[in-house]
Structure 1
Amino acid sequence: MNVVTYVPKVGKEEELLALVKKHEPALRSVGLAGPEPFRVWKAFDIRKQRVSFIEQFAWKDGRSSDVAHQTPEVMAVWEPMGPVLEELIICEVEPI
């Protein structure tokens, strides 16, 4: 299970959100997503006074992340994120 925090550059919130919304369809279209639906939240950091988007999802298997980097459909979503991201935090999470 992954939890990804996308922090947009100032003024790029809507552009980034549009890309985040394309993430699940892109991964599903090439068979790299696990069976659970992705979950996305808009968050507001009250200390830093900034918006971020948080996405929770699971890969189909342990190789899917590597395969995604070689897949044009996924890279068509990931590459445009670079110019609109202030910060990207990717966490593998597990229940405790």
Structure 2
Amino acid sequence: MLIVSDMANEIVLCTYRTRPDKEPEFKALLSRHWATLRELGFVTEVEPVVLRELGQPTYVEMFTWVDGGFDQAHEHPDVLALWEAMDPLLEDRDGRPKWEFPHFEPVRF
């Protein structure tokens, strides 16, 4: 069970498997994603890292939630509208879902 208080300072790696014919539309939405989350106070001020896989339109976006940001994002109409617009631009590929959101914690040595 995921507990919202455990989400503070968790790093999420969002993987988006973009339909090749929809890549320009997806990039336009992705360019607004973190900025929207930040304006609403759901993520830290550290800008995201966004990567595109070589050879196919798969994007990875990495950012960090603030305490309570994860839960609030899943209820906010501005964020939900972005996610709803992204969904038809993505595709399941190679047995993997169209998008994935594993969360990580920093490891200190």
Q: Same fold (TM over 0.5)?
A: yes
The answer to whether residue 77 in structure 2 is matched with residue 72 in structure 1 is: yes
> What is the CA–CA distance in structure 2 between the aligned matches of 1:32 and 1:4, rounded to whole Å?
15
- 1:32 Cα shift? 0.5
What whole-Å deviation, never above 9, does each CA across 1:45-92 have from its counterpart, x for those lacking one?
A: xxxx5221110000111x211111211221121110111111101111
- % identical aligned pairs: 33
**Structure 2: segments with no counterpart, 5+ residues:** 1-10, 92-97
Query: In the alignment, what sits opposite 1:50?
Result: 56
RMSD: 1.4
> What is the CA–CA distance in structure 1 between the aligned matches of 2:42 and 2:103, rounded to whole Å?
16
- Tell me if structure 2 keeps the 8 A contact 1:5–1:53: yes
> What is the CA–CA distance in structure 1 between the aligned matches of 2:43 and 2:90, rounded to whole Å?
23
Report 1:17-96 matches (<5 A).
17-44=27-54, 49-61=55-67, 63-86=68-91, 87-96=98-107
How many correspondences in the alignment? 91
- 1:33 Cα shift? 0.9
> Equivalent residue of 2:57, what SS?
strand
Runs of 4+ with >3 A deviation: none
